[in-house]
Structures are given as structure tokens and as C-alpha cells.
Amino acid sequence: MIDATTALGVTAAVLVGFALFGAWYARGRINSVEDYISARNSAGPGTLTATIVASSMGSWILFSPAEAGAAFGGLTAVVGYGLGSALALAAYAVVGPRIRTAIPEGHSLTEYAYARYGNAFYAFVLVVSLAYMFVFLAAEFTGIAGALSLIAGIPGWQTAALVGVTVLAYTGYGGLRASMVTDTVQTLLILPLLAITFAVTIVALGGTGSVYGSVASAAPNLLAPGYLPGLQFGVYVVVAILGAEMLNQAWWQRVYAARDDATLRRSFLIAAVTVVPMIVLAGIFGLIAVGRGLVDGNASVSFFLVVNDVLPAPAVLAVVVLAVLLVVSSADTLFNAIASVVTADLPRLVDLDDDSMTLAARGLTGLVALGATVVGAQGYSVLTLFLLADLLAASVFVPLYHGLFSERAWTGGALVAGLAGLAVGVAFFPPARDALPAMGLPAASFLRSFVGAAAVSGGIAVGSARLAGRRFDLGRLDREIRSLDAEGEP
Amino acid sequence: MTPLATPLPAVAFSALVWGSVALVVLVFCYEVAIVFGEMRRSGSANGE
């Protein structure tokens, strides 16, 4: 274990450095609420790819993939995790250009949900989207607080407060533009740090042959591509991540930030390819931990168990920097994404001038930061909450996006589809099964729950659209959703 | 262990590990090149 003062000092130096850089970059660039929550048509392929990678790869990659590798199905589960994350990003290469064409002056997915399906579906999407993003954010804070406590004995509240205050300092001031520019630098640091950390660990362990030998003798199933629990995890995690990420406002912001459609497609696809090896490398730490006999009911911290066991102090300090970069890169994104969802809806609810809107957006960012800091310092287990948010998303994402492409999709069909998907998902959701009356259903499993929710909601959404024979003028989306700068203009 | 659950050969595991490291390094090099290219073009456009 490295000493707390050194780790805290390094963490503070990294965080303050990014706060100053983000604030410096944003100076003079935020003149309206539109500037604050969107960076329309401004990002080239380098910046856009970097901000997508940085926003997607939070400190969770140091926890969940390794846990999946150690406890949920070995290498197959890890690869499934990587593919699920990649598929979600690749999906935006397809739907992103459609979003930009159908709603060229839009900001958020809830704005679209309201214009396309009305109040009830909007409320459903708003709750699911905010719940997912806040749980993601809380998990990030919980993760970094737990990681620095494990590596250096720093109390969780100190880490959470330090991260919350510094990220708020530049995101609250500079909004999306500050988040994106810091993401670019963070990606350029995260990629080599992850590659070096992994390579040094493998070399310190005696090479891949030695690692393979230790895992093969301790738990050979974890290395088997056909290991059933791994395959099942690999399938449901793909649906869970895809559904949740389709309701992540951060990606809608970046869809609009792309300089053009070609940049959007290229950047989301390159980011999709990038996240697979990052998650696989992080996940293999779980297998290493099992091979070395370090896992005993604590699979979620496998990555850090290996780091503490194998790496010398300077390399552990590099891991601290890596963890801090990962949490900052996704926390700033989520602060602004959550604030932007609410801000984009404000003009419908209250009559505010532009300065008041910008102030409200900054105030919301502060509230989100405070909430994440307080929750993150508690050290809760957020896995069940994460799975619940994933389930809600799995039951609503197909009807939501169906309406973007099909003029036959209609509000009643989408609502019934979402609710039916949710009912099926809950019926097979393992944490909910004990609370439900016995219904003679097959055994609960996450595979049945997530795949059932997505398949039922998707089937009903598409089927009801064909049967109802209604038509929605998709051109209304463009006419009804306008730039916030244009509010009040004739 | 069922036939389906046969462990991946050691050489495939090694290829997965080092292939992943190589891909991360490759993307890093791409990102450095393209980000600095964008910064240079942005500097030129601003007359610097």
C-alpha cells in the first residue's frame, strides 16, 4: 500500500490541473445556454473520438470487467462486456446521423421523446435516463473512493469531495466544451497508462505463459470460450449495456457536437473498436486475481488486489493517476449531460431569459455534483441499482428509437410496448423474484430478464405500429424542437 | 469439463493479451496524430 499523503497529493495535483485547464479553455466561449449544453458541429474526428472514449471509460472499467472475469464467467464474460460496450457506441454511428437529420436543432433525447410521443412516454424516458446517468455517476464516485481507500487508505469522503469539487469547478463554469477538451487530454493519458500498467503487470508475473498456467490450474473454466455462465453473461450484458447507453444523454450531446455526419460515424466506430481491448485488458486482471488465489468474495476489487500484490509503489501511483483520470473523464460528462436534460426542457416549463437559463444549468450541475459526492462517499453497493436502471432502459429503448425511423410508430403502442417489456423484465429479474407472488414462471435470470424485456417491448412496438395504421409526420420534430437561442423568435 | 468448456490454447490467450495491448497503443498513436493535426489546423485558421 502506498501512503495516503502521496496518493492524495497526486490525486489533487491531477484534478486541479484539469480544473484549471478546463476553465482556461472555456473562458470567453460560453455566451449562452446553447453554448453551455451543446457544442454543435464543432468537434473534428480526433476530439470527438477522444471525448467518446473518455466519457465511456469510467473508473468502472477497473471494477466490473475484472469482476465479470473472476466471478461471472471468465474470458467469455469479459469479451462479452467489451462487445456490449462497443455495440452501444457503434449503434450511434447508425442512429446518430438520423438524429441530426430529423432534429437538426435538438439537444436531448427527452426533448425528442416529448415531441414524438407526448407527456407519458416522455416522463418514462426522463426517469429512466436520469436514473441511469445518476447511478452511473454515483458508481463512479463510489468506485474511486473505494479504490483509493484500498490502495492508499484514503477515507472515501475525502476522495469523493476532492473529485466532486474540482470537476464541478470546470464543468460548472465551462459546460460541455470544457468537458470535451479535458476529455481529449484525458484520453491521451488513459490509453498509454492502461497499456503500460497491463504490460508491466504481465511482465512482473513472468509473461502470458505464466499467467495462463496459474489460471488454468486454479480455474480452467475461466479460460474456456464455451463456458456456459460466461456465454450467458456475455449475451445479457450486451442487451443491458446497449439499452442503457441508448438512453445516455452524453451520446446525444456528442452526436450534435460532431462537425458532420462522416466525423460522427468515424468517431463512434473508432471509439467502439477502442473500448473492446481496454475492457478485455481490465477484465483479465480478474482472471489473474483468481490464478493467484487473491479472490475471496471480493471479486469486484480484483484489479486492485493484483495491483497491490504485484506492482512496485511507483507503478501503483500510476494506477492511482489512471483511476483518477478515468473517473474525471466520465464524471464531467455526466454532470453536464444530466444538467442538459433538465435545461433543455426548462423553456416548456418556465419563462426564463438566456442568462437565467445558463445560471439554472450551472445550478443544476452543482446539485448533481453534490448528490454524486454525498452518495459516492457512502460506499453503497450500486450493482443492483445499476441492473435495475439497465432493466428499465432495456424495456424502453427499442420503442423510443423506433419512432425516429418509422412514421407508423404511435404513442399508445410505444407505451404498451415499454410497460409490457418492463413487466416481463421484472418477472424474470432475480432481485425482484422474491418479492413477487409465485406465478409458475421459469427460473429468474438476468439473461431472461434483459433479453425478454428488449424482445417483448421491441416486438410490441413494431407489431402495434404495423397494425394501428397511424401516421406521424416526422417533419414535426424539426419544426417543434428548436435551438434554445431561437426560443421566442417568430 | 464439457468439450465446449475446453480452455483456450495458451497461444490464443497470449495473442488476445498482446493483441489488445497493441490495439490500445495503435489507437493512442492515431489519436495523437489526429488531435495534434486538428490543433495545428485550428492554429493556422486563427492566423497564429
CA distance A273 to A209: 26
Nearest-by-Cβ selection for B8 from A49, A75, A209: A75
Per the listing, cell 418479492 goes with A435
Give the whole-number percent of chain A exceeding pLDDT 90.
62
The C-alpha angle with vertex A161 and arms to A13 and A9, in degrees rounded to 5, equals 25
Q: ipTM for the complex? A: 0.89
Please tell me the predicted confidence (pLDDT) of residue A191. 96
Binning pLDDT at 50, 70 and 90, where does residue A487 land?
Answer: low
Nearest to A257 by CA among A181, A329, A348, A188: A181
Burial (CB count within 10 angstroms: exposed 0-12, middle 13-18, buried 19+), residue A387:
buried
Mean pLDDT, rounded, for A356-378: 85
All cell numbers assigned to B44: 493556422
Identify all chain A residues contacting B30, using CB atoms and an 8 Å cutoff. 270
- Rounded to the nearest integer, the mean pLDDT of chain B is 85
Q: What is the pLDDT of residues A375-384, one digit of tens each?
A: 888 877 667 7
Residue of A nearest to B7 (CA): A224
Q: How does the average pLDDT of chain A come out, rounded?
A: 90
Minimum-distance CB partner of B7 among A195, A224, A276: A224
Backbone φ and ψ for A308, nearest 5 degrees, come out as: -65, -35
Chain B residue with minimal CA distance to A189? B28
Instruction: Inspect the interface and report whether the beta carbons of A225 and B8 lie closer than 8 Å.
Output: yes
Instruction: Considering only residues A350 and A329, tell me which one the structure prediction assigns the higher pLDDT.
Output: A329
When pLDDT is averaged across residues A100-106 and rounded to a whole number, the result is: 94
Of the candidates B7, B24, B31, which has its C-beta nearest A46's C-beta? Answer: B31
Alpha carbon distance A8, A97 (integer Å): 43
Contact of A208 with chain B, judged by CB distance below 8 Å, is answered with yes
Highest mean pLDDT among A250-264, A288-302, A375-389, A419-433: A250-264
Interface test with B, best of A281, A290, A325, A329 (most B CBs within 10 A): A281
Look at A188 and B30 and tell me if their CB atoms are within 8 Å: no
For residue A208, the chain B residues in CB contact (below 8 A) are 10, 13-14, 17-18
The distance from CA A374 to its chain's CA centroid, rounded to whole angstroms, is 20
CB contact under 8 A, B35 and A184: yes
Backbone φ and ψ of B10, nearest 5°: -60, -35
User: Which residues does B contribute to its contact with A (CB < 8 Å)?
Assistant: 1-8, 10, 13-14, 16-21, 23-25, 27-28, 30-32, 34-38
Which phi and psi (to 5°) does residue B21 adopt? -60, -45
Please report, to the nearest 10 degrees, the dihedral formed by the alpha carbons of residues A246, A248, A251, A197 taken in order.
-100
pTM: 0.91
Q: Please judge whether A224 and B32 are an interchain contact, meaning their C-beta atoms are less than 8 angstroms apart.
A: no
| Rounded Cα–Cα distance for residues A283 and A435 (Å) | 33
Contacts of B31 in chain A (CB under 8 A): 46, 49-50, 187-188, 191
Contact at CB, A281 and B5, closer than 8 angstroms:
no
Q: Closest Cα of chain A to B22: distance in Å?
A: 8
Which residues does A228 contact at the CB level (< 8 Å), separation at least 6? B4, B5
Three cell numbers written together for A416: 404498451
- 8 A C-beta contact, residue A137 and residue A338: yes
State the pLDDT at residue A263.
97
State the CB neighbour count (10 A cutoff) for residue B12.
15
Residue B35: its chain A contacts at CB < 8 A? 46-47, 50, 184, 188
The CA-based dihedral angle spanning residues A313, A67, A76, A452, taken in that order and rounded to the nearest 10 degrees = -150
Collect all residues of chain A within an 8 Å Cβ-Cβ radius of residue B24: 191, 194-195, 274, 277-278, 281
C-alpha dist (Å) from residue A84 to A173, A366, A396: 34, 32, 18
Which range has the worst mean pLDDT, A78-82, A228-232, B39-43? B39-43
Chain A residue with minimal CA distance to B34?
A: A46
Instruction: Assign A490 a pLDDT band (cuts: 50, 70, 90).
Output: very low
**pLDDT score of A488:** 47
A441 vs B: CB within 8 A: no
Query: For the ranges A311-320, A375-384, A396-405, A458-467, which has the lowest average pLDDT?
Result: A375-384
Alpha-carbon gap, residue A122 to A336, rounded angstroms: 20
Q: In this complex, which of A188, A198, A211 lies closest to B35 when CB atoms are compared?
A: A188
Q: Is the pLDDT of residue A278 over 90?
A: yes
Contact call for A46 and B37, based on CB within 8 A: yes
**Is the per-residue pLDDT at A336 higher than 50?**
yes
Handedness of CA A62, A68, A70, A76 (dihedral sign): negative
The one-character DSSP state at A72 is I
> Residue A296 has which C-alpha cell?
475471496
A281/B24 CB distance under 8 A: yes
> Residue B1: closest CA among chain A residues belongs to which residue?
A221
What's the CA gap between B35 and A21, in Å, rounded? 17
Work out whether the CA dihedral A207, A212, A217, A222 comes out positive or negative: positive
Q: Return phi, psi of residue A246, to 5°.
A: -70, -15
Residue A421 pLDDT > 90, yes or no?
A: yes
- Could you report how far apart the first and last alpha carbons of chain A are, in Å? 64
Contact flag A187-B31 (C-beta cutoff 8 Å): yes
Whole-number Cα distances in Å, A279 to A57, A121, A144: 9, 34, 17
Query: How far away is chain A from the Cα of B48, in angstroms, using its nearest Cα?
Result: 17
Is residue A361 over pLDDT 90? no
Burial group, residue A390, by CB count within 10 angstroms (0-12, 13-18, 19+):
buried
Three-class DSSP category at B47: coil
- Do residue B21 and residue A195 have CB atoms under 8 angstroms apart? yes
pLDDT at A224 over 80: yes
Contact present, A288 and A205 (Cβ < 8 Å): yes
A257: confidence class by pLDDT, cuts 50, 70, 90: very high
% of chain A exceeding 70 in pLDDT: 98
> Phi, psi (5° rounding) for residue A258?
-60, 140
Give dist(CA A67, CA A399) in Å, integer. Answer: 32
Overall size of chain A counted in residues: 490
**Paired strand residues for A34:** none
Query: From the CA of A212, how many Å to the nearest CA of chain B?
Result: 6
Q: Do A47 and B35 make contact, defined as CB atoms within 8 angstroms? A: yes
- A248: left (phi > 0), else alpha (psi -120 to 50), else beta? beta
β-partners of residue A258 are A43
C-alpha cell at A445: 435470470
* A252 at interface of B, judged by CB pairs closer than 8 A: no
Nearest 10 degrees: Cα torsion A332, A338, A343, A349: -160
In this prediction, residue A258 has a pLDDT band, given cuts at 50, 70 and 90, of very high
Cα–Cα distance for residue pair A126/A340, rounded to 1 Å: 12
Q: What would the grid cell of residue A255 be?
A: 452526436
pLDDT given at position A177 = 92
Q: A157 φ, ψ to 5°? A: -65, -30
Instruction: Note the pLDDT tens digit of each residue in B10-39.
Output: 999 999 999 999 999 999 999 999 998 888
Contact A226 B6 (CB under 8 A): yes
| Rounded distance between C-alpha atoms, residue A241 and residue A77, angstroms | 13
Provide the 10 A C-beta neighbour count for residue A180. 28
